Amino acid sequence: MKKVIVAFLFALLAINSQAQKFAFVDTDYILKSIPTYESAQDQLGIMSKDWQSEIETKHANVEKL
Number of domains into which the chain is organized: 1
Q: Determine the pLDDT at residue 51.
A: 96
In a domain, 53, yes or no: yes
In a domain, 29, yes or no: yes
In a domain, 47, yes or no: yes
Judge if pTM exceeds 0.85.
Answer: no
In a domain, 17, yes or no: no
In a domain, 7, yes or no: no
Please report which residue ranges of 1-65 form alpha helices under DSSP H.
2-17, 27-32, 35-64
In a domain, 10, yes or no: no
**Domain housing 56:** 22-65
Confidence of residue 54 (pLDDT cuts 50, 70, 90): very high
In percent, the amount of the chain with pLDDT more than 90 equals 34
In a domain, 4, yes or no: no
In a domain, 42, yes or no: yes
Torsion of CA 46, 48, 49, 50, to 10 degrees: 90
pLDDT digits (tens, 9 = 90+) for 8-24: 666 766 665 555 667 88
